[in-house]
Amino acid sequence: MSKGKRIFVVRGMRCAGCAANVEKTVSRLPGAKEVYVNFAAGLLSLSAPAEALPDRAVIAAVGSLGFEAAAQGNAPDAAEEDRRSARAERFRLVVSLLSASLLAATAALPAASGSALLQIALLLPAVAAGWRFYRNGIPALFRGTPDMDTLIAVGTLAAVVCSLWRVSCGIFAPLYFDTAAMILAFITLGRFLEAKSRRRAGSAIRELAALRPEEAVRIREDGSSEKIPLSEVRPGDRLAVAPGGRIPVDGVVVAGESGVDESMLTGEPLPLARTSGDAVTGGSLVVDGRLEIRAEAVGADTVLARILALVEEAQGSRPPIARLADRVAGVFVWGVLAAAAATAAAWSLARGSGSEALEYSLSVLVIACPCALGLATPIALVVGIGNGAKRGILFRNGAALERLAAVRLFLFDKTGTLTAGRPALAGVVPAPGFSAEELLASAAAAERFSEHPVAAAIVAAAEEKGLALPEASEFRARPGFGVSARIGGASWRFGSFRFLRESGIDTAGGASPENEGAVVAAARETAFAGFLSFADELRPGAAEAIGELHRLGLRCEMLTGDRRSAAEAVARAANLDGFSAGLLPDEKAAAVAEHCRKQPTAMVGDGINDAPALARADVGIAIGAGTAAAMEAADVVLVADDPGAAAAAVRLSRRTMRIIRENLFWAFFYNLLGIPLAAGVFVALFGGPRLAPMWGAAAMAASSLTVVLNALRLKRPC
């Protein structure tokens, strides 16, 4: 999580106006900065040191508006809260619909005192089911922070009070009890469907959280086992995981072997073989064998916990595209109240009919919808970011997602990003008088004492060829240059050509290392013995990833600190559009900054030396196997070791931004058309059409639901 960034779970918000009021109230607290409330996710994010602004102050401020807040991690179980809320919503919906239906039938009876009293009796259950609109909306009006509940409460109260006054005067037609009941029923139906759809939208993070088992099986020192709560697992504990079970924490396999399904974390569809010494990630599924693991990271330090925290932080962030809609939603309700009052005054003066003026003003109050505006961006972010996480694509914030959609140039690091980062023996070139087998076996005999990656590649190549390695003694290493050892009674040296020349060995008979990539030269006593060349293999799928980015209309280049010959070979194999070689970390960052000045640019890397370049890019993308430094500097993290996920991230970001723009267009268009229609502007100008208040309420509910359903299209694979 970003430094100083804090997230709170807020419950009880019913519309975008509620979110705007929470945001405005918390923003007034001393020290609160970058305050944003995502209504769709129910998250409040802010930047403030805890000592300057304690959690209790934020929670109290939210509570003063009638909502509940809790710091992330201390909030009640979201799944249970959702189930309880859904049951209550369903009960209120049934009562509202039944009451409104009976009331509509009663309103068709001949006007009389008896039918009027029956309508009042049938209205009471609808008012009781919708009591929260009055309980929340009226106090919000007097606090000066009106919301959608205020519009509903004011509109239905006006209809009910007007009808009661007419009944008290002995006037039994027209009455608006059925109108009030139908408004409450339609709004309740819309809220029920919208909440259900929003739960579907946020299902990705709940599915990720569900990967954590509640218990773990710990193996005692005497070999027996015990079940313990996950919270009691400590680093170093030995844990058993049976076939079909989920690995509780990050660790290392110490016994057993099995296929492990990591698809919910990395998007990789096939189980990966894991055996003793292999690292495993908490939340992964053990497929067909029993594993014993040693716990390494637990609690908030696990990969899954960090992913969940990153996703929640991203879903609670405000992308730049949301600012206009948020500003409009913040003042929308006041504008609607003013429009309703103006509508009532205009029709009263024009027609002298109080009932007609009431109907038009009621329609304005219930058709206006800040929810569609307020939901347009956050609901798409919740779905897009959540489903990206399920596919191993983690966006640090909404702004990163928006910037990635605009990127036109991709810059790649070479080693560990486009290539596997593990050197492999490419060739053995012996000098006259030496054989390739002797040269490789001698090199492996000396290098098996070294931990250098090139040494490991030499030893692996010798073992693959089945060579018998001679005994080596008097091993010495000179970091950055090479090693020496006594093999078969002779002194051998392996390392750079410079290392050999400084030892007085004539290397003129060797090939130019500049044309051979990475080279280890060899000498026996004072004679040059030849050299071994190495290549960093292209990562599987790297060329396909570049091809996919090309099909998306993107240019792809490479920045590397490696020598030009090695860079050129990789660029050619991956079909890159260009490359720059021999760059130091600060030079790589400067090159990224120069590209950013010309066009929106993304940088993909994995190592510590990539962190400055990732930070300077418009969008920094870290490959998942990379270092913590690279992941902290990045805006997007690809959990799997697959650069091909970069293309999937671009597609997801573009689709999300397209959905957001569609949502914003339809939300603005709906209100620009709906409010004049409800106010009777078309009736005054053209003689129609006219919109009854109950159908205005239905249209309002439909507008919010349309925005949510449109965002749910993002759940489809990219």
CATH number at residue 502: 3.40.1110.10
Q: Are residues 424 and 533 in the same domain?
A: yes
Amino acid of residue 212: R
Q: Are residues 93 and 139 in the same domain?
A: yes
Same domain, 20 and 68: yes
Q: Which long-range contacts does 212-219 make (Cβ < 8 Å, 24+ apart)?
A: 212/246, 212/248, 212/282, 212/283, 212/304, 213/245, 213/246, 213/248, 215/248, 216/248, 216/249, 217/241, 217/242, 219/292
Strand, coil or helix: what is 494? strand
User: Do both 526 and 545 map to the same domain?
Assistant: no
- Structural domain includes residue 205: no
Structure tokens given for 154: 């004011």
In a domain, 290, yes or no: yes
505, 600: one domain: no
Rounded CA Rg of the chain = 34
What was the pLDDT predicted at 462? 92
Specify the pTM.
0.74
439-483: pLDDT as tens digits: 999 999 998 877 777 888 899 899 989 998 999 989 888 876 788
CA distance 470 to 190: 80
Orientation angle between helical segments 148-168 and 113-129, nearest 10 degrees: 160
Q: Is 149 a catalytic residue?
A: no
- In a domain, residue 40? The reply is yes
Strand 555-559 versus strand 578-580 pairing type: parallel
Out of 300, 329, 359, pick the residue that ends a domain: 300
Q: What b-and-e string marks burial along 584-609, b requiring 16 or more CB atoms within 10 Å of the CB?
A: eeeebbebbeebbeeebbbbbbbbeb
Residue 666 and residue 384: Cα distance in Å, rounded?
A: 19
Contact between residue 634 and residue 396 where contact means Cβ atoms under 8 Å apart = yes
**Which tens digit of pLDDT belongs to each residue from 363-409?**
898 888 777 777 788 888 888 888 888 888 889 888 899 999 999 99
Q: Which two tokens stand for residue 471?
A: 């005994």
If asked whether residues 407 and 556 sit together in one domain, one would say yes
Domain match, 489 and 358 both: no
Strand partners, 219: 225
Q: Could you give the C-alpha distances from 356 to 353, 368, 675, 693, 699, in angstroms and in order?
A: 5, 19, 16, 11, 20
Residue 58 CB-half CA count within 13 A: 30
Give me the CATH number covering residue 234.
2.70.150.10
What confidence score (pLDDT) does residue 510 get? 64
Claim to verify: residue 38 and residue 98 sit in the same structural domain: no
What is the amino acid identity at position 610? Answer: D
Q: Do the Cβ atoms of 422 and 453 come closer than 8 Å?
A: yes
Q: Which domain CATH number covers 592? A: 3.40.50.1000
What are 519's strand-pairing partners?
533
**Residue 531 belongs to a domain:** yes
So what's the pLDDT on residue 241?
Answer: 94
Is 474 found in the same domain as 381?
no
**Left, alpha or beta for 312 (phi > 0: left; psi -120 to 50: alpha)?**
alpha
Does some domain include residue 306?
Answer: no
Distance CA 281, CA 278 (A): 10
**Tell me, what's the pLDDT at 57?**
93
Which is catalytic among the residues 413, 562, 610, 641? 413
Alpha-carbon distance of 165 to 494, in angstroms, equals 102
- Are 531 and 500 in contact by the 8 Å Cβ rule? The answer is no
Q: How far is CA 251 from CA 101, 227, 308, in A?
A: 60, 18, 18
Q: Is residue 204 part of a domain?
A: no
**CA dihedral angle for residue 437, residue 440, residue 442, residue 443, rounded to 10 degrees:** 170
- What's the one-letter identity of residue 252? V
DSSP 575: T
Residue 375 and residue 415 share a domain: no
Report yes or no on 522 lying in a domain: yes
Which of 50, 167, 47 has the alpha carbon at shortest distance from 119? 167
Amino acid at 337: L
pLDDT of 513 reads 47
Q: How far apart are the C-alpha atoms of 483 and 137, rounded to whole Å?
A: 79
* Domain count along the chain: 6
Cross-strand partners of 559: 580
Q: Tell which residue, 456, 496, 460, 491, has the closest CA to residue 478.
A: 496
Q: Which domain holds residue 137?
A: 89-188
- Residue 364 placed within a domain: yes
- Going by their DSSP bridges, the two strands 578-580 and 393-395 should be labelled as unpaired
Which residue reads 């060739």 in tokens? 427
Which residues does the chain have with pLDDT short of 70? 1-4, 73-80, 201-205, 264-270, 330, 480, 509-518, 607-609, 625-633, 717-718
Q: What is the distance between the alpha carbons of residues 208 and 227, in angstroms, rounded to a whole number?
A: 23
Name the one residue in this structure whose structure tokens are 């005999």.
Answer: 445
Longest dimension (CA), the chain: 122
The pLDDT assigned to 79 comes to 63
CA distance 198 to 85: 13
Q: How far is CA 311 from CA 79, 149, 314, 642, in A?
A: 17, 30, 5, 20
Instruction: Give the residue among 405, 402, 384, 382 at the shortest CA–CA distance from 393.
Output: 384
Dihedral of the alpha carbons of 563, 569, 574, 577, in degrees to the nearest 10: 70
Q: Which of these three, 521, 537, 553, is where a domain ends? A: 537
- The DSSP annotation for 440-488 comes to HHHHHHHHTT---HHHHHHHHHHHHHTPPPPPEEEEEEETTTEEEEEET
For residues 381 and 414, membership in a common domain is answered with no
Angle between helix 354-367 and 323-351 (nearest 10):
170
Instruction: Examine the domain organization and report whether 108 and 140 are in the same domain.
Output: yes
Distance CA 714, CA 566 (A): 41
Which residue, among 230, 620, 199, has the nearest Cα to 383 in the 3D structure? Answer: 199
End position of a domain, from candidates 76, 103, 126: 76
**How far are the Cα atoms of 104, 136, 156, 586 from residue 120, in angstroms, in the given order?**
12, 23, 13, 77
